[in-house]
Structure formats: structure tokens, C-alpha cells
Structure 1
């Protein structure tokens, strides 16, 4: 698909999917690799904040570690889209996983040798952030092509991708809580490094010969002007739609709040009021398990409901209630109930956003648009953990929880307040021309699109309800 003045290189676009009999192995490989990676992500979600709290005793320093891990994610997402296409999605995924494995393994190795300084911990987490986002993006943008090859409907493939992530997150969180309590946070980081290595191996072997995962054939010689043009295409595509901007801004805010919750607020609440890392693992596991149920339910019946209404209800359930409940009680049971309901609501969010994105973005722009939207939704993530840590130290945990919950509630009202969100229920498959009218133009330029995120997505970093990337 192209528009007037669109900067596309027809000579090096990937060939269309083969009409041969369905082949489900590549899709299954990506799902398995994502499951392994997200399981390790859950280990990081619990292991790193607990390691920082154990070794420094300071919520503020734990927030600073989260800040250092998140800033490079944004940087790599901003500039990485064209690089993914040129080098190849398979190669980028494998390389990013291997670098992250080495960086994570170095943390406990240096600590046990008595050599780990606080700045080293921040630097190593920055390395994982820098290399994690391109690998997540490379895997997620393969889903539409692999779904076609597998003969699987796109909405079902998107739901499967998110359901696998949710299930892995639930399992990993439960495992992490027990392992941190029994073995210590540094041992959990070793296991996390192993998950990165296994994910790299799965992609290396399972996607060999898959055209959609290969580098672009016969790309033009690299030049800064060509790179800037490729990068500009992704940004222009996103900026042409008020709906896209609305989604990116909303999820940017909620992802920043989620980072503060997962890296500082919930670990501090668990340490001070809930009994320790086992309770923290239980909380994350319950949320992830119910989110898995929500994603599976959406895959079965979700398409029958209006997307905007379902998206709004899901966000209202998973957003402010956990913060307010944690602020009002220091017992486990009420928070578990609220997290269970919120998890189910969160489960519908990523499939909705992923389906809309896959319907709208053409293959030749998918990596670039995904990189731009990932950068946008993660823009506030570095500040979330930092702000949470400083607020806890300055005003106390209860004030911080109420403040974050209040902002979250206001952010989740956006789909009901702004008219541009109505187009989420009727996305078009014709994208706005790259050289078309600017954002804020007439309504006919609006398109339904989501950001891609981490779950701890995103991954994409899953936007909204998912934890931010490692």
C-alpha cells in the first residue's frame, strides 16, 4: 500500500506469503520464544527491584535503577525500526536476547565477587533496556505474516500471542516470588539470563528460512538520508491520526504509572505490609493468571463487543483500583481480589490494540511504526519508577499510591471523552498517506491503531496493564 509521495522501496519489499499449505511451526516458535522471554521478564520484574532494595535499602535508588533501565528502551525504540528491517527480524531478536543474557548474568557475578558498584548495576540494566526493545519489536511484528502462513485468523493469533504472554507472566511471577525468598534475588537473575539465551536459541533455529524474518532482499546502500527517510515514514504515519496520537499519549501515561507500581510501589508495599517477596510473587501471578483468562475470553467472544467500550471497561478495572486498595489496606486478601478483577480487564487490552494495529499498518512500515509507537508509549516509563521512589521517600507510601491512582483514573477516561476514539470500532485498512494532511486534520484521516508495548510489555512493552520491559 502506498500513498502520494510515500517513501517505499518496491525492489526490496518482502514477497507476499506463499499460497502453499499452512505451516504452523514458525508461529508456534515465536509463541514459545515469547513465553520463555516473558517468564524471564517476570523474574526481572520481581528480582531486580528486590535486589536493588536488598543491596541499597533505598526506594529512591530502586527507582533510579528502574529509570536507567527504561531510558535506553525509549532510545532504541525511537531509532530502531529501520534497523530491524535492514538487518532482519530473526537476527535482531537473537542478538538482542544474547546481549541481555550477558548483561543480566554479570550483575550477580560482580555482586558475589564483591565488585558490583551501584553505578554498575544502573549501567548493566541500561544495557538490557537498550537491546531488549528491538528484540521484542522484531518478534511482535512477525505475527501477522506467521498467522497467514499458519492459516490462523489474525484476531485469534493476536489473542494467542497475548494469552501466552499472560500465562508465562503468571508462571514466572509465582516462581520468582518463591525463588527470591528461598535462593535470593541474585540467583533469580542467573535464571533470567538463561531464559534470554533459550529464547535466542528458539528463534535462531525455528525461524530459519522464514522470509518475513529475513533481512530485506537487495536493500539500497545505507545512507543517513535514506535512514532518516525510513525513520520519518514511521513517525509521519503515527502523527497523521488523532486516534493514534490519543492511544500513544494515554498508554504513555499509564505505562509510566505501571513502572512506578511494579518497580517501587508494589515491592515496597509487599516488604512493609504484606510479608515479603512471596506475597509480591503471588500478587503478580494472580494478576497475570486472570489477565490470561481475559485474553482467552476475548479470543473466543471479544469480537462480538464494541472495541472502544470493552477497552475502556478493561482499563478502568486494571488501572486505579489496585493503587487505591493498596493505600487503604495492609492485608493481602482485598488486594488479591482487586488484582484478579483488574487482571481480567487487562487481558482484553493488548488483543484489541494488536488486532487494530495489524489491520491498519502495511507490512513495509510495520517495524517502523511499531518502533515509533513503542517509543511513544514508553516515553514516560523512565520517570515512573523515579517519581515513585522519590514520592515514597518524601511523602510516604500511602500518599504515593493515592497520587498515582488518581492520575491513572483520569488517564483511563480518555476513550469516553475524546471523539476520535470512536474510530477504534471501525478501523480502515487504508492508511493515511505519508504526505497527507497533518495531524488534527479532518476526521477522515483518522485510523485505528495501537501502540505495541512490554509487557514487561510490550513488548511492547503490552501497553497499559502490562509491566514495562526489562
Structure 2
């Protein structure tokens, strides 16, 4: 009797961890799409409920300060707790705040007070969630071995795509199920974002460094509710130091980002709507904004694919020059075809610099301060946009829409000249010109 020769076992291939970037981007897409749809529907529902166009501005003013504080608290949370978990909880709160609108409408009927209350609840979810999700970007790139510079181009492309799809989807939903019921879609997207984020490994959102050690070693009794307010103050202080005091490149990037938000936000949110309303062609506004978003999508995809084909400084100069020409074209308020062309040029030019500025911000912020710095950035951005729109509204009221548009174009020309000649932004490709910033340690460690 013969024994059969033993069959050699095939060695198992080494375990490869699953990619997290696709799931991270899917979560971002769900959240962004829900917010984009809600951004179109909510003002219309508010106007239909109150019958007062001033109500939207009043609601923004009422919510501005709480949103600013919530953004700071969100920064403190993301430096104290697991960022993946903060993102999940925030998306669930966002879903609940939006779902309550149609529920309240069915039971009691919506009123201005309900919009204020549920708007604040939504801010508690949206703003910390945005900070936590942003804080995960470097960890996602490191885990999947992605280039942060290219990944920022990809996320910018996703933002542009959602801006194109969201308003069209909102119009379809409002026509199919009605404005209030269409908000169920936004709630479903926020919940979907939470569920997708739940599939990401918990280690992805782990907080490392001094903040984590302090949170882990401190007993529960030493963290009363007022500790979170104190944490928000420290987050603001450390966030401002990181963004504006520790790194000249980071500080310059922040100033340009604020300029983009304030000038483009005023153009899109006030000047162009007033112009088209005065011309009794409000429907044309959508075409101009769609042309801008389509341009940003195309340029962001091109930048993501060819980011390393050109020097960073080259991308930077070309993008700034193109944006200047596009904003000048919009500021002149020419005939509609030229407005479309100017919006397209602006979008094609804005994609690369938006990705570049995002890359500088994520790349330069130390991991230990990422939550506080991004929370501070989001809070300051939320404050800067309405301030700029309010100032522009005063100019429109006092000088007219044409003068206000030219004023915004002139402001952008000044920003462009400064940005092109700023010493810290002339050597973007030389690593030695920008040494890594030193993280800010907590007070206990500094003492």
C-alpha cells in the first residue's frame, strides 16, 4: 500500500487592508448632496411659511453667533474624541433636525420659531461634523498611500459635481413630492453618510498626541459641562495661533481663502440674484451658477489628474490670473452670453487654487491641533461670509448693484496683487522655505 504524497498548501497572499478613500468620499458625497438639496429647498419653505423675504436674513443673523460657538466646540471635540465617531454622531443629529421639519409641519405646522430651533439643532450636527470629516483627510491619504495634493483635487471635483447635481435634484423632488416632503431626502442622505462612515475603521479617527493623552487620563468627574466651553475657548486660541501665528504659508493661505469666500459668496448670494431679479429674468441665475460649477468640476478633475505635471507656483499663478479675469467679467455685469463666459472662466480657474489652498491647510496643520484649527477655520468662515454679504447689501442699497459689483471686482484685484507678491507664496515648491510648524501643546504641558 502506498501513501499519497502530501499536497502542498498554497501560501495565502498577504492581507491587504481595504481601501478607505472610496467609502470616505461616498460619505462626503451623501452629506454634501443632502446639504445642497436642503440649501435650495429651505429658503423656499421659509418664504412660503412666513411670507417675508427678510425672514431668511433674520434667521441667518440669529443663528450666526451660535453657529460660530458651535464651530469652536466642534474643534474642541475633534481634538478630544475619536473624529470618526464625532462625524457619525453629527450626521445623525443633522438627519434628525431635517426630518423634524416635515414632522412638525404635519403635527403643528411650521413657524419662524421652529426654523430657529431646528436650525440651531442642525448647526450642532453640521458644523462639528464638517470639522471632523475634514480632520480625517490626512489619515485617509496616509492609510491608502494617496498624494494629499491630488486627493484635494479629487474632493474639490466632488464638491463641484454635487453643486451641479444638487439644485437640479431639488427641483425634481419639489415637483414630485412637494417642498416640505422633499426634505426627507436630505435626512436620508445625512443618515446614509453616518452609516457609510460607520464602516470606516475606528483607528482612522484616533486622536494622537497631547490632546489624546489628556482626554484618556482625565477622570470623568474632571470634565463637567463647563469644561467643553473652556475647551472651545482654548480651541479658538490655539486654532488662531496655528492658523495665523505659527506658519506664514498657512496664514497667507487662510487670508486668500477668506477672500474667495467673501467675494464669491457676495457675488453668488447677492449681486447676481439682485441683477437678474431687476432684469426680471431670475431663472437665468441658475445657468450662470451652473456654468461656474461645471468649470470648477472640469478644472478640479484636470488638477487631480495632472497636479504633479506643473509646479505648484505655476498652478497658483495661472489660477489667480484666470479668477481675476472671470471676476472682472462678472463685476462688469455684461450681457448674458458674456456673463456665462465669465462664470465659466472663473470656474475653470478656481478649481486648482481651491485644491491647492486646501492642500496647504491640511498639510501644514500639525495633527495634534487639527481639530481646533479646522474648527476655528470653519467658524471664522461662517462669520466672514454673512459679514461680506451684509456689507455688499449696504453698497447695493446706497450705490446700486453695478457699483457694488465693480467694488467686489476691485477688492479681488487687490487680493490678487497681494497674493502674487506675497513673499510666503513665492516659493511653494521649495520645502526648505517652509519648515514644519511646531504644534501648540496644552497649557499643562507647557507649564
Choose from 162, 166, 170 the match for 2:164.
Answer: 170
- 1:345, CA displacement in angstroms? 1.3
Taking the aligned partners of 2:335 and 2:63, their CA distance within structure 1 comes to: 29
Cα deviation, residue 266, structure 1: 4.0
- Residue 234 of structure 1 and its aligned partner are, at CA, apart by 3.5
Report what 2:29 is aligned to: 35
**Root mean square deviation of aligned Cα:** 3.5
Q: Measure, in 2, the Cα distance between the counterparts of 1:108 and 1:285.
A: 29
What is the CA–CA distance in structure 2 between the aligned matches of 1:390 and 1:140, rounded to whole Å? 34
Deviations 1:72-105 (A, max 9, x none): 4432333432311322112211221222222233
Residue 140 and residue 198 in structure 1: after superposition, are their counterparts in 2 closer, same or farther (change >3 A)? Answer: same
Q: Provide the TM-score with structure 2 as the length reference.
A: 0.78
* Residue of structure 2 equivalent to 1:403: 407
Equivalent pair of 2:235/2:373 in contact (CA under 8 Å): no
Q: Given the superposition, is the C-alpha separation of residues 328 and 168 from structure 1 closer, same or farther in structure 2, using an over 3 Å criterion?
A: closer
2:305 aligned residue? 300
> Relative CO higher for 1 or 2, CA cutoff 8 Å, sep ≥ 6?
1
Rounded Cα–Cα distance in structure 2 between residues aligned with 1:316 and 1:59: 37
In 2 relative to 1, CA 358–384 (structure 1 residues): closer, same or farther, beyond 3 Å? closer
Instruction: Say whether the 8 Å CA contact 2:88–2:129 is kept in structure 1.
Output: yes
Aligned equivalents of 2:313 and 2:420: distance in 1?
Answer: 8
CA contact (8 A) 2:366 2:439 kept: no
Counterparts of 1:394 and 1:188, CA distance in 2: 38
Q: What is the CA-CA distance between 1:352 and the residue it aligns to?
A: 0.9
Tell me how far 1:348 sits from its aligned partner. Answer: 0.8
User: In 2, Cα distance between the equivalents of 1:391 and 1:109?
Assistant: 40
Contact 1:97 1:132 survives alignment (8 Å): yes
Classify 1:282/1:382 alpha carbon distance in 2 versus 1 (closer, same or farther; 3 Å).
Answer: same
Q: CA deviation at 1:382?
A: 2.8
Q: CA deviation at 1:172?
A: 1.4
The 3-state SS of whatever aligns with 1:328 is: coil
Does the 8 Å CA contact 1:174/1:282 hold for their aligned counterparts? no
**Which whole-Å CA distance do the structure 1 matches of 2:263 and 2:256 have between them?**
11
Is the contact made by 1:102 and 1:193 (CA closer than 8 Å) also made in structure 2? yes
After TM superposition, the structure 1 stretch with the greater mean CA deviation from structure 2, 67-76 or 378-387, is 67-76
Unaligned runs of at least 5 residues, structure 2 = 1-13, 442-447
Q: Measure, in 1, the Cα distance between the counterparts of 2:182 and 2:123.
A: 18
Q: Deviations over 1:256-297 (max 9, x none)?
A: 3333344444444455547455x4444433322221211111
Match of 1:339 in 2: 343
Render the CA deviation track for 1:84-129: whole Å, top value 9, x for unaligned: 1322112211221222222233345545667433344344334333
Task: Please give the alpha-carbon distance, in whole angstroms, between the structure 2 residues aligned to 1:164 and 1:37.
Answer: 11
1:254 aligns with 2:254: no
Q: 1:361 aligns with which of 361, 365, 375?
A: 365
SS class of match (2:156)? helix
Structure with bigger helix share is: 2
Structure 1 gaps of 5+ residues are 1-19, 437-470
Contact 1:62 1:389 (8 Å CA) reproduced? no
Give distance in 2, aligned partners of 1:325 and 1:182: 34
Shift of residue 322 of structure 1?
A: 5.0
1:213 to 205, 218, 226: 205
Moved beyond 6 Å, runs of 4+: none
Counterpart check, 1:420 vs 2:424: yes
Q: State which structure, 1 or 2, has the greater radius of gyration over its C-alpha atoms.
A: 2
Q: Is the 8 A contact 1:73 1:129 kept in 2?
A: yes
Q: Distance in 1 between matches of 2:386 and 2:396?
A: 16
Matched with 2:356 is 352
